Amino acid sequence: MAENRTAESNRIDLVVFSALFPSAARPGAGLFIRERMFRVAQHRPLAVVSPQPWFPGQSLIRLLRPGYRPQAPALEIQQGIRVYHPRFLSVPGLLRRFDGWSMALASFGLMRRLRREGARLIDAHFTYPDGEAATRLGRWLGLPVTVTLRGTEVPHSKNPALRPRLTRTLQAAARVFSVSDSLRRLAIELGAAAEQAEVVGNGVDTSRFHPVDRAAARNKYGLPMDARVLVSVGALVERKGMHRVIDCLPALLKSHPGLHYVIVGGASPEGDNRAELAAQVARLGLAERVHFLGALPPDDLKWALSACDIFVLATRNEGWANVFLEAMACGLPVVTTDVGGNAEVVCRSELGTLVPFGDDAALQQALDEALTKDWDRTAILDYARDNHWDKRVAQLCHALGRFIDDSSEFEQKVLNEQFHVRSK
């Protein structure tokens, strides 16, 4: 009887497949994926497979770069859900082109075992290399695969070597999700069937993100009570554009002499520009005005947001930035660039301002006006509450359920195709 209970508790409906996922080694990586899929887990039992790049000798690189490819444990239990971290061979440089194959091969034995535990669907996040690996595993194991576009597909689609691989992956997927309509249009441009592509945006947890007492929040971070404060949250990488905001500060200080700028974030797999940003701040004489808070746990982020007046992200590319909704849930209007899905989140003038990417004068003017404007904070809060996760998860569960519940039909189709190939 105990064995039966254990087998039942191990049974899963789907496997979330993504190399970017929080772990003990990288607790801030892929939080937006966990937020989404662990809510799905309340309706459909699942496990997570998050392959980790590895190659012989990479520990030597850590002697010079301590944060290089931190290794997660083989298995973690997060909120009662199994998260596996199989290692796959990934050699830096040109050999990274084989990551999709390597990721699939390294995960095959584990995925076959999870299939025996009941997995009937692979849900991959990011088209390359994760989606590429997942669609191969789907073919090998006779399982349908869904792929979610999250924004990296924009630069990848401009790479002549990667674009055909994106196309093959999206055409092999049983369903293509995107976090914004701009990404859905890109998926169709790359070859996904329009009827197979669906937008499921991200949401916000308003029980976690909500306004807290401003005086207490400012005291927590040593900010003057009478200051006007900008805030950015994101990885400290060129793409996020904190340096573009810093460049605007000297001019803004002339009309807003009490201005301060708070930066929340740290290193990421994309890199770490903290040293460059600190040097820029020192060069412009802004050491007393720019505050680096480092990466904050999600439960602490509402304090940093509530301490500020305007959220700004001068980003080069985004799929659907969860942080916009998190800032709005704390009552902040958003100033950002008109790229990716940003216009779909900041969709009304009462919520914030969009500026063309690369237009420094427009960014400075938008920040100047935002700092002066009397914003309707109630309207901003209401919009955030209307984008609660519950709506997104209900839509996603419905879409995933169709493949999970009809998986026997898909498996038979795959078997027939394999038999047809062998008979030739």
CATH code assigned at 263: 3.40.50.2000
Q: What is the rounded distance in angstroms from the CA atom of residue 110 to the CA atom of residue 114?
A: 6
pTM value is 0.82
Same domain, yes or no, for 233 and 284? yes
* DSSP assignment letter at 97: G
Domain count, the chain: 2
- For residue 9, name the pLDDT band (cuts at 50, 70, 90): low
Structural domain contains residue 302 = yes
Q: What is the rounded distance in angstroms from the CA atom of residue 315 to the CA atom of residue 237?
A: 10
Q: Three-state SS for 107?
A: helix
169-212 pLDDT, tens digit each? 999 999 999 999 999 999 999 999 999 999 998 899 999 999 99
Q: What is the rounded distance in angstroms from the CA atom of residue 320 to the CA atom of residue 198?
A: 14
109-140 pLDDT, tens digit each? 999 999 999 999 999 999 999 999 999 999 99
Same domain, yes or no, for 218 and 273? yes
The overall average pLDDT reported for the chain is 91
Quick one: how far is CA 136 from the chain centroid?
Answer: 23
What is the chain's length? Answer: 424
Q: Three-state SS for 236?
A: coil
400 near 350, Cβ under 8 Å? no
Structural domain contains residue 2 = no
Q: What is the rounded distance in angstroms from the CA atom of residue 369 to the CA atom of residue 361?
A: 12
Same domain, yes or no, for 136 and 275? no
What pairs with residue 232 in β-bridges?
263
Same domain, yes or no, for 304 and 283? yes
Mean per-residue pLDDT, 66-74:
84
Structural domain contains residue 4 = no
Q: What is the rounded distance in angstroms from the CA atom of residue 238 to the CA atom of residue 144?
A: 37
Q: Which two tokens stand for residue 140?
A: 């090998």
For residue 188, count CB atoms less than 10 angstroms from its CB and return exposed for 0-12, middle for 13-18, buried for 19 or more.
middle
How far CA 319 is from CA of 91, 258, 293, 332, in Å, comes to: 28, 34, 25, 20
- Provide the pLDDT for residue 195: 95
Structural domain contains residue 3 = no
Tokens 């924004």 locate to: 151
Q: Which uninterrupted H or E stretch holds 263?
A: strand 259-264
Full domain range(s) for residue 340:
214-386
Structural domain contains residue 312 = yes
Same domain, yes or no, for 236 and 120? no
Same domain, yes or no, for 376 and 395? no
Is it true that the peptide bond before 297 is cis, omega within 30 degrees of 0? no
Mean per-residue pLDDT, 247-259:
97
Same domain, yes or no, for 182 and 315? no
Residue closest to 51 by CA, chosen among 14, 23, 93, 78? 23
Same domain, yes or no, for 234 and 286? yes
Is the model's pLDDT at 1 over the cut of 70?
A: no
